[in-house]
Amino acid sequence: MPIYTYACDSCGLKQDVMQKINDTPLTTCPECGKQTFSKQLTAAGFQLKGGGYYETDFKNGPPPKTAPKAEPGCAPCASNGSCPLAS
């Protein structure tokens, strides 16, 4: 069952409530008894754990690309420190 966060506009009470998805939202504050208790919009909190699609395929990203190495004794590479053939 999901956990919803409720807040009262009158007394400021904030409370987490476990409810079924199809339960009617609460409106009466358990602290002050007024009809100003409403469901708040919050971010879903979850973690992907264990060996699965995410863990095995995307955790570390794609392998890094390596630059081509210059030939030993190449004159343009030795003169300016960069290889024109490595582009």
- Does pLDDT of 45 surpass 60? yes
Q: Which CATH class is domain 1-43?
A: mainly beta
Strand residue runs (E) in the chain: 3-8, 14-18, 37-39
CB count in 10 Å sphere of residue 37: 23
pTM score > 0.85 for this model?
no
Radius of gyration of the chain (CA): 30
- Does pLDDT of 9 surpass 90? yes
pLDDT at 49: 65
Q: With the CA atoms of 11, 16, 19 and 24 taken in that order, what torsion angle do they form, in degrees rounded to the nearest 10? A: 20
Domain ranges of the chain: 1-43
